[in-house]
C-alpha cells in the first residue's frame, strides 16, 4: 500500500506536453470536420426537386433537416401523428437527450409537408426512412450540388451556426437544437463571433 501511495501521475504542463505528442486517430465513423454549406446551397437543397412523389419526399426531408435542425434519428422516428397542421407544430422526441419537444413549423417545412401529402398519405412513419436511407438521400443531394460526404449532421451544424450568427443566446440555442450542454451552445456562439 505504501508503494502504491508513492506513485504519482503527471500534472499540469507535463501532462499537456505528453498529450500533444500523441498521434491523433479517430475511432468512430464520424467525420472530423463538418461540411460547411452556404445559405444559397441550403436554399438549393430545399428547393430544387422535381414535381414527383420522390421529389416531394426529398424536399420535405431537406426542409426538416435544414429549418428544424433535427438529428437523423429524430427524423426517422417522426410519425404523421407528430405533426399538427392546424397548430403548425411538430412534436419530436429527442432520443439523445431523452425528452420531447414541440417546434413550430417553418413556412418552407409547412409548404413541403402539404406538397408531400398530396402525393401520398403516410401511414405510421412520416417519411418512411431508415437512418441509412436518410443518409444516402442527403449524400445524393449533396453530390448533386458538388458537396461530397454531406450528412444530416452537417445540415444541423448549418442551422446552429446560422442561429448563433443571428444572435440567439446560449439558452435559446440549447432549446432550439435540443442540447443539454451549455458548452455546446457556447462553442457555436464563440465561433460565430470570430
Dump pLDDT digits (tens) for 31-55. Answer: 667 788 889 999 999 988 989 999 9
Q: Cite the beta strand spans of 41-164 per DSSP E.
A: 83-84, 89-94, 99-104
CA 131 to CA 73: how far, in whole Å?
6
Q: What is the pLDDT of residue 186?
A: 83
In Å, how far are 4, 60, 112, 121, 194 from 85, measured between CA atoms?
66, 14, 12, 14, 39
CB distance 139 to 65 below 8 Å: no
> What pTM was estimated for this model as a whole?
0.80
Residues facing residue 104 across a β-bridge: 89
Q: What is the pLDDT of residue 136?
A: 93
Amino acid at each position: 500500500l505504501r508503494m502504491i501511495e508513492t506513485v504519482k501521475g503527471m500534472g499540469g504542463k507535463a501532462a499537456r506536453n505528453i498529450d500533444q505528442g500523441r498521434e491523433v486517430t479517430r475511432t468512430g465513423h464520424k467525420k472530423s470536420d463538418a461540411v460547411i454549406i452556404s445559405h444559397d446551397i441550403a436554399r438549393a437543397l430545399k428547393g430544387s426537386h422535381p414535381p414527383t412523389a420522390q421529389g416531394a419526399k426529398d424536399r420535405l426531408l431537406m426542409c426538416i433537416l435544414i429549418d428544424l435542425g433535427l438529428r437523423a434519428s429524430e427524423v426517422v422516428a417522426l410519425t404523421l401523428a407528430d405533426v399538427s397542421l392546424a397548430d403548425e407544430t411538430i412534436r419530436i422526441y429527442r432520443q439523445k437527450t431523452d425528452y420531447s419537444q414541440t417546434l413550430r413549423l417553418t413556412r418552407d417545412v409547412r409548404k413541403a409537408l402539404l406538397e408531400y401529402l398530396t402525393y401520398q398519405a403516410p401511414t405510421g412513419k412520416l417519411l418512411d426512412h431508415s437512418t441509412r436511407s436518410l443518409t444516402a438521400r442527403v449524400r445524393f443531394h449533396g453530390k448533386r450540388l458538388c458537396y461530397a460526404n454531406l450528412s444530416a449532421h452537417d445540415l444541423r451544424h448549418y442551422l446552429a451556426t446560422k442561429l448563433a450568427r443571428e444572435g440567439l443566446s446560449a439558452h435559446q440555442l440549447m432549446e432550439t437544437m435540443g442540447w443539454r450542454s451549455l458548452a455546446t451552445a457556447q462553442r457555436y456562439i464563440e465561433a460565430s463571433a470570430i
